[in-house]
Chain A
């Protein structure tokens, strides 16, 4: 079996490389978009507590939708291909970042906030100099969760023609090509684990620079 897999990889090196590259670009695009959407949204919600309740509720509903359902739901709206897959994965990664950012910003020690206001900081300065740096480790933890979720869910993008390592699995399943199927599965698992470890290391670095809020 192992020998079959190596043989398949040697014969289809280009396909494997392309699928992995597509998987990564799909994941990175979705993660980047999720960060760019979630951070400003969380900042806006912190400033408008009246809206926050319903918005957080909506995001929690979004979180309960399975990734495959989210991907398939894109079909009638955006068709098949890279863009609908990226949009679905963005929506899938959004909740973890948004909820972590919102919670972390709201839970900054009120005494520290009062001290900042009392020294004459504007709301903006308070956000930039105090709240964001103190919330950063938790925000980063949210990004890490989202990254792993997106990398895993990107496997399903193959179902709507989004490409990625999932194609190896679906193709392998269609032709009962066991080496291809298992290789695809292992590649996805390795990518997810690498993402988790890479972000965990980076997160430790962030925590060290920011310091604990003791």
Chain B
């Protein structure tokens, strides 16, 4: 669990606070995505959690413990940290990079070695192939995988991720989002994730916190953010296509009902997102589609699902 209470930070010489009396709570095992226009204070907020930035006021609680005055070095060893530029140590092998925090914590070598291999396997890198290579021999996507493996190595309950997929191409990004989303959920990590990409926020977040001028505007599950934006700023930020974004959150199997589709209706897999089903129906000029193994999805059902409860 991560909780920020009335946290403020004004940088020297700045006209207004970068973070202004912010309250935020991320329940244990959940991912909270911080998002907002540049300069909204999202990265500052994240860096306050591991005290790379010291707040002027407020309280930081991590896992039930007030860490506002804790030793920052010890604190950071308990918090996984991933940044966009990855920051792998270029003079060390992949194995040495991943072993960083366990080594700082004084783990014995015979415990570090298997752990490093386990982490590389977890992030989809064959240990035998990567352990002894240097970061400069890896692709951008592979480096970011190593970055995540390094952050997870000492099994920290809490992870901070600052635009971790911002520097890789869109196809690699989509793969990393899906894979790491699953890994973080499976390991029940409590995560603060910073991005400026609303689609990424909706995909990765159990909670999405929209910030503006150092303040929290709305913090809600993606579904709620899209269906009931708190104000015009949030509605504008999530975009005019927020009904479609909501459809993307559900799949055909979720709303399939017993029934009959007219002859010639398209067939979709149960895992197809409703957004894609809508697109298929529009393209086919059909009013309903068969969902393999679980009935039909009708245009009317999609329309009901998409309607915004204002």
Give chain A's interface residues, CB within 8 Å of chain B. Answer: 109, 111-112, 114-122, 125, 129-130, 133-134, 210-214
B83 in complex: contacting residue of A111, A120, A214, CB < 8 Å: A111
Interface contact tally, CB-CB below 8 A: 67
In the complex, chain B residues 45-85 whose Cβ is within 8 Å of any chain A Cβ: 50, 52, 73-78, 81, 83, 85
Minimal beta-carbon separation of B283 from chain A (angstroms): 45
Residues on A with C-beta less than 8 A from B150 are 119
Task: Find out whether the CB atom of B86 lies under 8 angstroms from the CB atom of A115.
Answer: yes
Task: Find out whether the CB atom of A120 lies under 8 angstroms from the CB atom of B104.
Answer: yes
Q: In terms of DSSP, what is the predominant structure of the interface of chain A? A: helix
A213 in complex: contacting residue of B50, B86, B90, CB < 8 Å: B90
Q: If A121-B104, A122-B73 touch, does A115 touch B87 (CB 8 Å cutoff)? A: yes
Task: Find out whether the CB atom of A118 lies under 8 angstroms from the CB atom of B83.
Answer: yes
Task: Find out whether the CB atom of B104 lies under 8 angstroms from the CB atom of A112.
Answer: no
- The CA of A116 and the CA of B101, in the complex, are separated in Å by 10
Chain B residue nearest to A117 in the complex (CB): B52
A118 in complex: contacting residue of B76, B78, B88, CB < 8 Å: B76
Q: Does B91 contact A (CB under 8 A)?
A: yes
Q: If A119-B101, A120-B101 touch, does A212 touch B73 (CB 8 Å cutoff)? A: no
Minimal beta-carbon separation of A211 from chain B (angstroms): 5
Q: Using A111-B85, A118-B52 as known contacts, list a sample of 7 further A-B pairs with CB atoms less than 8 Å apart, ordered by residue number in A.
A: A114-B52, A115-B83, A115-B88, A118-B50, A120-B104, A129-B89, A212-B90
Residues on A with C-beta less than 8 A from B85 are 111
Q: Does B272 contact A (CB under 8 A)?
A: no
Minimal beta-carbon separation of A83 from chain B (angstroms): 40
Interface-central residue, A112, A119, A121, A210, by most chain B CB under 10 Å: A119
What are 12 inter-chain pairs, A to B, with CB distance below 8 A? Answer: A111-B83, A111-B86, A112-B90, A114-B83, A118-B52, A120-B75, A120-B104, A134-B90, A210-B91, A211-B134, A211-B136, A214-B90
- The CA of A130 and the CA of B50, in the complex, are separated in Å by 20
Minimal beta-carbon separation of A203 from chain B (angstroms): 16
Q: Does B224 contact A (CB under 8 A)?
A: no
- The CA of A116 and the CA of B147, in the complex, are separated in Å by 12
Q: Does B10 contact A (CB under 8 A)?
A: no
Task: Find out whether the CB atom of B89 lies under 8 angstroms from the CB atom of A115.
Answer: yes
Chain A residue nearest to B77 in the complex (CB): A120
